DNA sequence: ACAATCGGGACCGCCCGTTAAT
DNA sequence: ATTAACGGGCGGTCCCGATTGT
């Protein structure tokens, strides 16, 4: 039903997607669609709202904050590979079409979550003192955003998990000490 | 002339941009525009083609390959802040609208350039042997792409330069040895 | 129920009002609405029909005809401020959308009522002989119509009562003698 | 060309008027129309802008302020009868469709003009001291607005001039003294 | 080479009223 | 009386030729 919209939005973007395409993909008729959603924009917002929140997946994870952060990123990558709704939401968020002005809050929410984890890691003594949580969160969020884009464009996201691990291999040495790094490598199976 | 198109494309995206908007941004008439460009798509391709190649800016730079790589990223950030054509090209490339299928080559070209520099750095002995140039280039390109997007969304690109430096501070420790790192820090004025 | 339709009609006008807006203003579903009313036009006619007749409010008023006329105008103003149905009816009547051609009868009915009161006033000797009841009724109805429109546009009808009194202050001297005028002023508390 | 739009807007109102109707009335094609006007709203604004300003008609009139005021009202009535653009503008202004938020300024402009004339009349000693220019202007503007509406609905504006004179006969006694009133009657041929 | 105007085809979003099932 | 689904059709407008003038 609504998943069809996500697919089309993800494939063509908001503006280029036409209602007819969504109709065709979903196999429903115009009237039916407009009974559930008042407008194309409402449909897009529903897509964003309906995405299964991949952030909850690892709340029960009990590990150090840094481990939870890596797990979060992997959970995100999995959601991206698995769930078209998440993919469509990302696309709709990145193209800032002014859909309810929610884009800023989305980015800000991610930033806050990551920074929070970094602060916890700092309290746990897992962070180098030279690291600024705010700046690091910014770079991490950006890198993940970019990875997903490039992986999509070049390899249809098939290599996303490997690339996320590559990212961690490249930034963890700057975030934490050799000792913690070694611990993380074994726990997270991040081969050198 | 063609810069007006870039501005509109950058602001609205390809599909949402209308010829009329470009027309009155440029101050020309429709006849004039359609004399030079056959279609809206041709216009977009011209925007991409016409972007001043910021890659040439640092060819004359004589330094180590790693230094040239950092300089290249900074040059890219500058171009992004300064040149609407570059911004529009990025937007048009990221939204893969099927404009002549040139997106793949674009990404691949960037990847090749960065990898090439990393290989040179390896030959110069500036790279840890654990680093895979291919994978590192991939992550770096992705991170730059993401930084530009997030910086645009959150701060209208005003903090882009600072964020690029943040990125280097976070990945250089994994790329090179402490000694080279210290050298780069002074040469590139990358405070800890 | 039907009041929701009135609100939307009053706010947007007949043509611009959409059924969906009425639906979620009323909190009912489309099926329910189309069970009661055959069409959008039928709904509008129901709004007009259902308006509580403010004319009855002052039938029991026992005073001179002129006093009753002023009271009628005040009653109208009150209804306009209080009752969205009356407001919507006015809007739907003024936009002559061809809703059953009832607009002419509406205006004519108001005209007849006012003229009738003026004729009574004439018989009671309260009217100057130079006054033509027909013409005076026409002007009074028009002025009330206009006052309501302008007051709505400029002050959201909050000053309507005061403006109606202003109107009477400006036309009563032409309608009646100084003596009757003085009597009315005290009775109706129309300060000079 | 643009006059056709005025006719349709005047006949059906903004929302109910369709581009096809205007096209049909004007005898041009869609492409041609959208070359000159970017949107339906732009067309409506053009109609409002293009109306020949009937206010200038009596600037050369040399008489007392009160005489000029009456002349202004008559000029307005003439314009209303003669010029479809003026009629359409009035309709578009009265239906507040949010066309550039110019409606408030329109009403306010008329109010200011009339109040200014009343203030001049006051300085010339032609106004009773009990008259408040502000309030009087408000009522006069409203009455003119209403007259035009009712006259249109009932008699297709054919009796507008006579009704305007009726209005003046009904309000002038409250505005000025017997002596000035007599002078105005002869000068303006306002029979009792 | 450039500009202004006209023409038209096509598309897309959306809205209204109906019809099934219950 | 309500939910859900349906579809015909319309209205705005956009893109792009084609035809003029300069």
Query: Under an 8 A CB cutoff, do C139 and D16 touch?
Result: no
**Contacts for D32 with CB less than 8 Å, ≥ 6 apart:** none
Residues 29-88 of chain C within 7 A of strand E, judged by CB, are 30-31, 34, 38-41
Q: Which nucleotide is nearest to B38 (CA to C1')?
A: F16
Measure D133 CA to F1 C1' (Å). 58
Q: Residues at the strand F interface (CB under 7 A)?
A: A 28-32, 34-36; B 17-20, 30-31, 34, 38-41; C 28-32, 35-36; D 17-20, 30-31, 34-35, 38-41
Q: What is the pLDDT of residue A177?
A: 93
Distance to chain A for B28, nearest Cα, Å: 25
Query: Under an 8 A CB cutoff, do A153 and B96 touch?
Result: yes
Q: What is the pLDDT of residue B175?
A: 95
- Test mutation, C41, C109, C145, chain D, max D CBs within 10 A: C145
Mean pLDDT to the nearest integer, B89-115: 81
Question: What does the alpha-carbon distance between residue D140 and residue D117 come to, in Å, rounded to a whole number?
Answer: 12
**Contacts for B149 with CB less than 8 Å, ≥ 6 apart:** A94, A142, A145, A146, A149, B94
In the numeric block, which tokens belong to residue B157? Answer: 């690109």
Q: What is the pLDDT of residue D190?
A: 79
- Test mutation, D102, D150, D155, chain C, max C CBs within 10 A: D150
| Ranges A74-83, A171-180, B90-99, C121-130: which has the least confidence | B90-99
Instruction: Find the residue closest to F16 using CA and C1' atoms.
Output: B39
| Residue B41: burial class (beta carbons within 10 Å; 0-12, 13-18, 19+) | middle
**Contacts for A172 with CB less than 8 Å, ≥ 6 apart:** A181, A184, A190, B174
Q: Residue for token digits 């006579």? A: D162
Q: What is the pLDDT of residue B164?
A: 96
For residues A92 and A48, the answer to whether their CB atoms sit within 8 Å is yes
Measure C48 CA to E13 C1' (Å). 32
Question: What does the alpha-carbon distance between residue D134 and residue D161 come to, in Å, rounded to a whole number?
Answer: 25
The answer, yes or no, to whether residue D25 has pLDDT greater than 60, is yes
- In terms of average pLDDT, the best of A89-98, D41-50, D140-149 is D140-149
| Chain C residues touching D147 at Cβ < 8 A | 139, 142-143, 146
Q: Is the dihedral of CA B22, B27, B29, B35 positive or negative?
A: negative
| Residue D158: burial class (beta carbons within 10 Å; 0-12, 13-18, 19+) | exposed
Using one digit for the tens of pLDDT, what is the confidence trace for A21-70?
999 888 899 889 898 898 999 889 889 888 877 766 555 567 899 999 99
Using one digit for the tens of pLDDT, what is the confidence trace for B32-55?
888 888 888 888 888 888 876 766
**Angle at Cα D75 formed by Cα D70 and Cα D79, nearest 5°?**
150
| 3 state DSSP class of C91 | helix
Mean pLDDT to the nearest integer, A68-83: 92
| Distance, CA of C70 to chain centre | 13
Q: What is the pLDDT of residue D175?
A: 95
Mean pLDDT of chain A: 88
Q: Is the CB of C19 under 7 A from strand E?
A: yes
Beta strands in C58-166 (DSSP E): none
Q: Which nucleotide is nearest to C34 (CA to C1')?
A: E17
Q: What is the pLDDT of residue A61?
A: 63
| Residue D113: burial class (beta carbons within 10 Å; 0-12, 13-18, 19+) | middle
Q: What is the pLDDT of residue B44?
A: 87
Distance to chain C for D153, nearest Cα, Å: 7
Question: What does the alpha-carbon distance between residue A72 and residue B44 come to, in Å, rounded to a whole number?
Answer: 38
Q: Is the CB of C113 under 7 A from strand E?
A: no
**Contacts for D146 with CB less than 8 Å, ≥ 6 apart:** C141, C142, C143, C144, C145, C146, C147, C149
Which residues of chain C carry a pLDDT beneath 70? 54-62, 98-102, 192
Distance to chain A for B157, nearest Cα, Å: 13
Among B39, B15, B38, B20, which residue's Cα sits nearest to residue B30?
B20
Q: What is the pLDDT of residue B28?
A: 86
Using one digit for the tens of pLDDT, what is the confidence trace for A135-145?
999 999 999 99
Q: What is the pLDDT of residue A2?
A: 86
Mean pLDDT to the nearest integer, D60-81: 88
| Distance, CA of B109 to chain centre | 11
| Residue C166: burial class (beta carbons within 10 Å; 0-12, 13-18, 19+) | buried
Q: What is the pLDDT of residue C191?
A: 72
Task: Enumerate chain C positions whose Cβ falls within 8 A of a Cβ in D.
Answer: 12-16, 94-97, 103-104, 107-108, 130, 132, 135-136, 138-139, 141-147, 149-151, 153-154, 163, 166-167, 169-175, 192
**Contacts for B77 with CB less than 8 Å, ≥ 6 apart:** B148, B160, B161, B164
For residues A72 and A58, the answer to whether their CB atoms sit within 8 Å is yes
> Model pTM?
0.86
Question: How many residues are listed for chain C in this entry?
Answer: 192
Q: Given phi > 0 = left and psi -120 to 50 = alpha, else beta, which region is C97?
A: alpha
In the numeric block, which tokens belong to residue B155? Answer: 């701060």
Half-sphere exposure of D137 (CA within 13 A, CB side): 21
Among B93, B87, B100, B102, which residue's Cα sits nearest to residue B5?
B87
Q: Which nucleotide is nearest to D31 (CA to C1')?
A: E7
Q: What is the pLDDT of residue A60?
A: 58
| Dihedral, CA of residue D21, residue D27, residue D32 and residue D35, to nearest 10 | -60
Question: What does the alpha-carbon distance between residue A22 and residue A38 come to, in Å, rounded to a whole number?
Answer: 15
Q: Is the CB of D32 under 7 A from strand E?
A: yes
Question: What does the alpha-carbon distance between residue B145 and residue B111 come to, in Å, rounded to a whole number?
Answer: 12
Using one digit for the tens of pLDDT, what is the confidence trace for D79-134?
999 999 999 998 988 887 766 566 778 888 899 999 999 999 999 999 999 999 99
Query: Under an 8 A CB cutoff, do D107 and C154 touch?
Result: yes
Half-sphere exposure of D106 (CA within 13 A, CB side): 24
Question: What does the alpha-carbon distance between residue C126 and residue C172 come to, in Å, rounded to a whole number?
Answer: 11
Using one digit for the tens of pLDDT, what is the confidence trace for B107-166?
888 899 999 999 999 999 999 999 999 999 999 999 999 999 999 988 989 999 999 999
């Amino acid at each position: 039903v609504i998943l069809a919209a996500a697919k089309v939005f993800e494939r063509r973007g908001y503006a280029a997607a036409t209602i007819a395409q969504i109709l065709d993909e979903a196999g429903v008729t115009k009237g039916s669609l407009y009974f559930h959603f008042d407008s194309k924009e409402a449909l897009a917002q529903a897509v964003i709202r309906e995405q299964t929140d991949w952030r909850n997946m690892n709340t029960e994870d009990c590990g150090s904050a840094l481990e939870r952060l890596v797990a979060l990123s992997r959970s995100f990558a999995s959601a991206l590979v698995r769930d078209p709704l998440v993919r469509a939401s990302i696309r709709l968020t990145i193209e800032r079409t002014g859909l309810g002005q929610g884009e800023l809050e989305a980015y800000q929410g991610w930033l806050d979550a990551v920074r929070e984890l970094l602060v916890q890691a700092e309290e746990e003594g897992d962070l180098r003192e030279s690291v600024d949580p705010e700046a690091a969160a910014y770079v991490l969020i950006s890198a993940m955003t970019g990875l997903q884009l490039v992986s999509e464009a070049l390899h249809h996201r098939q290599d996303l998990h490997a690339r996320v691990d590559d990212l961690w291999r490249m930034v963890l040495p700057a975030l934490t000490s050799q000792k913690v790094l070694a611990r993380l490598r074994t726990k997270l199976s991040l081969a050198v």
